[in-house]
Amino acid sequence: MRRRERSRPAGRGVATTSECTGWMNAQHSSPERGVRRRAAPCRRRFAFWPVARVCGSVLAAASVVLATACSAGGGSPVASATPPPLCGNGIAEGPEECDDGNSSNADACLATCQRPVTWVTSDVHVHSSGCAQDASPARLAEQLRAQQIQLGAALVWGEGYANDAAFFTGRDHPLSTPAFILHYDLEVSHFQAARGGHLLLLGLDSIAFSSDVFHTPNSGIPVVEWARRQPRAVVGMAHAQFWPDEIQNRPGGCCTPWDTIVHAVRGRLDFLSMERMPEEEPVTFRLWKALENAGFRVAITGGSDWSCIADRFHERTPRTDVIVEGPLTYESWLAGIKAGRTVAPALVGTRLNLRVDGHRIGDELQLAAAQDVTVTLETAGVAADVEVLVNGEPRARVSVPEGPQLAQVRLPVSRSSWIAARSHNALTSPVYVLVGGAPVRASADDTCYLWRSLEKVEELVTTRILNLYESEPVALAAYREAASELQRRFVESGGGVCR
C-alpha cells in the first residue's frame, strides 16, 4: 500500500534495432517430422499463423518453424512406415489434445491441435478502505467488473483495518458468483511488520499474525513463517517497481520491498507483484530476472493497488492472468499462482501465452542433452511485437497482428534455462527447461547482484537505519542463511570473485 501517485506516461514499446526479414507464414509442423503417404502430393498443413513478422538479427540461432511437411527441396514426400499424427485432419491422434480440422485460433482447438488454456483475469491487490476513497464491497466489485476482472483479492491492511477486518472470513464474499469472485485477504502494510516491505498474503484462514498486529513483530520474516503454516497460503511481495537498483546508505520513501531477496532465497516467496509495467519501471524486471537467473522460481503478477497507487484504473494498470484447471474458484486461482502459471498484462483484452515443446507456463521441461525446442506464442488483443526471452535476454521477436494469433519459433537450448515472453503490454512467467537434470544457474553476475544487495539490506538493519527492534535477531539469522545460499549458487554459476 502506498499513497496515491500518478503513473508515468507509458513508453512506446520495445525498440527494434534490426531490419526485419519480411513477412512469413509460420505453421506448427517442422520438416523433420516427415510427410505421410507414399504417393501423396506434397501438401501444406492446415494451420496458418497469420503473418508473423520475425526480426532477423534478434533471432540469432533461432528459426521460424515453417509450415510444410515436404522435403527441403519441395519434392516427393518422405516415406514413413507408421504415419505420425497429422494436425488438421479432423482426427485427434497421438499427442494431439484436439483436432477440429480448421485453422482458427479463436475456437476450442488451436491450430497446433492443443486446447486453449483457461484464463482468469484478476487483480491481486485492491482495497476497500484507505487512500483516495473508501468503498463498500459492492462498490469494489462494481469497479472490478467494469475492468472485466473476474477475481479481485481485496486486501485488509492497517488503514481501515477496523472496518475491513469484518469482511475477512477465509471464504469468498457473498457478492461472488460463478463468474466473479471477491475474496478478502491481507496486505502487511501500515503495520510495524511492514518495515521490510509489503507482503501480499492470499488464501489465509486467519489474518491475526500476532496478538498485537499493529505493533509486533517489527519484521515480515516471522509473518511469512506464520503464513506458510496455513495450508492454502500463497505469499507475494508488492511494489516491485520501488526496488532500489542501487541501495543507498540512507534510503527514503515508502514501500521498498527490502525483503524480497531473503524471502525468495529461503523458498518463501511465490510471486512478485508490480503496480506499474516494467517499461515504465525497469527495476522490476531487473530484480525478477536476477532471481530467475539464480534459480529461484517466482511468478510475476500485476495489481492495481486501487485506490492508493491508482486512484482509478488506467489503460496501463497491470493485472494478472492466471491459468486455472476447471471452473473458476479461489482455490484453483491460488493453485495457478503457486504453480507459476501467471502473466502480467496491461490493457483490457490483452492475452499472451507461451508454450515450450507443448509445456505450459510454470512447467518444467526435462531434456537429456542440448537440443532445439519449439516456442509457441498465443496472443490476443492489439497488434504487438513479442520477444521470446531466454534467461531474460531476447532471442527472437515476432510481430503479430491484432486478434487471436499464434506463432512458433525454434530456439537452441544448450544449458538449463528459463524461457518467457514479453511485449509492450504483457510479461509471462517462465517455462523452465532443464538440460541433463542441472538446475538453472544462468548468471553469476545476477547472483552476485542479489548477494551484494542482501548484504546491503543487512547493513541497513545492523546500523539501525532500518530498525527492526526486537525482530532484529530473527531477521539477521534469515539474511545470513540466504547469503550463504547465494554464495553457493554464485560458485555453481561459475563465479569467481563477487564484487
Give me 160's grid cell.
481501515
Q: The dihedral of CA 491, 297, 454, 234: what is its sign?
A: negative
- In the chain, the amino acid numbered 112 is T
Domain span at 406: 118-435
- Indicate left, alpha or beta for 94 from its phi (over 0: left) and psi (-120 to 50: alpha): left
Give me 136's grid cell.
463498500
The sheet that has 371-380: what strands, in order across it? 63-64, 405-413, 371-380, 351-356, 359-360
Q: Given pLDDT bands bounded at 50, 70 and 90, which one contains residue 479?
A: very high
Are residues 483 and 411 part of one domain? no
Q: What is the mean pLDDT of residues 337-365?
A: 96
In a domain, 228, yes or no: yes
Give yes or no for a contact between 133 and 150, defined as CB atoms under 8 angstroms apart.
no
Q: Could you count the other beta carbons within 10 Å of the beta carbon of residue 314?
A: 14
Q: Is the pLDDT of residue 10 over 70?
A: no
Indicate the SS3 state at residue 38. Answer: coil
Are residues 459 and 322 part of one domain? no
Q: What is the mean pLDDT of residues 205-230?
A: 98
Q: Given pLDDT bands bounded at 50, 70 and 90, which one contains residue 250?
A: low
Residue 132 has what pLDDT? 75
Q: Given pLDDT bands bounded at 50, 70 and 90, which one contains residue 43?
A: very low
Give me 224's grid cell.
511469512
In a domain, 3, yes or no: no
- In the chain, the amino acid numbered 416 is S
Distance CA 174, CA 42 (A): 60
Are residues 472 and 374 part of one domain? no
- In the chain, the amino acid numbered 208 is A
Q: Is the pLDDT of residue 31 over 60?
A: no
Q: 179, exposed or middle or buried, with CB in 10 Å at 0-12, 13-18, 19+?
A: exposed
Q: The dihedral of CA 294, 204, 318, 242: what is its sign?
A: negative
In a domain, 105, yes or no: no
Are residues 279 and 419 part of one domain? yes
Are residues 372 and 320 part of one domain? yes
Distance CA 224, CA 268 (A): 7
CATH of the domain at 408: 3.20.20.140
- Comparing CA positions, the residue from 253, 336, 249 lying closest to residue 301 is 336
Among the residue ranges 6-10, 338-342, 449-453, the one predicted with the least confidence is 6-10
Q: What is the mean pLDDT of residues 133-159?
A: 95
